[in-house]
Amino acid sequence: SGAIGNAAAAIVAGFATTVVVYRALAQGQFGRFGATPAMRTISGPIAYTWPYGMSTPAQWIALRTRRFMHDHHITQDPLAAIAMACYHHAQSNPRAIMYGRPLTRQAYDESRWIVEPFHLYDCCLENDGAAAVILTSAERARDLKQKPAYVMASAQGSDFRQGATAENGPDYATSNFKTLAPRLYAMAGIEPKDVDVAQVYENFTGAVMTSIVEHGFCHPDEVMDFCTFENLTAPNGKLPINTSGGNLAECYMHGLELIIEAARQVRGTSTCQVKDAEISMVVSGPMVAPVSDLILRR
């Protein structure tokens, strides 16, 4: 989302007329993000975590998620609902890696633990591939073949010391959008209730749950009632999320895949279309620093 904002700024400032934002992954040659590389020596911040078995993103996000769940008396149900919603949407998307492989609650519960509270199906895919988005001015877009998706707002940043290493962030159980989301809404001139559909980056389901809270869709103590399969699925949920299947079930293209699906929603071409979707949100990179947001409009 931050790259889209930078591209839009370049066009508005007159530095470019058309910008291509792309992402390509070929991890197969170099090692997957979820794996810990072997090292002979270790130093710096990771010396405080890696030797003790905390060396992968799943573990970092699990600790923050567990803290949030403890503070607000949250069970496994919202995490399962998020995973099942993504897999449900993927069944309508022939492009999705998990197309034809639906997920039931029983299968979710019986899948192996990766790191509590995350089962296998709480974790994103790892795959090679590529994606691209083309941006140009609103004036030029009117005459193009595809129906335009207009950028309403884009914001990127971080809260105080959220980039602190060795698990030293002062606000631990956060997706890191508490200062960013209000700025995004103010820029767009809308409120959370105006968002019709959201694509929320799911490296792990816990980060989706906290992102939903920090973007004002529900309060922390309302998570159990809000984050249900019925509320999170298209076409009739209160907030359909990740309607292509997302990083859990379509593919893992680091948020750009989610931006493409957000554009499909406002164009009316999604395989899980939300009726009359006018405003589509993208939430990118929760629980890291910095994070970024994007709002598209029909």
The structure tokens listed for 231 are 């509320």
In 13-137, which ranges are E strands?
Answer: 18-25, 113-115, 118-119, 129-136
Contact 51, 38 (CB under 8 A): no
The structure tokens listed for 28 are 């197969």
Write out the catalytic residue numbers: 201, 252
Helical pair 77-90 and 205-214, crossing angle rounded to 10 deg: 100
Task: For the chain, report the end-to-end CA distance as a whole number of angstroms.
Answer: 17
Question: CB 131: neighbour CB atoms within 10 A?
Answer: 18
Contact 82, 227 (CB under 8 A): yes
The structure tokens listed for 201 are 């980056």
Q: What angle do CA 192, 176, 81 make, to 5 degrees?
A: 60
* Nearest residue to 175 (alpha-carbon basis) of 95, 287, 250: 287
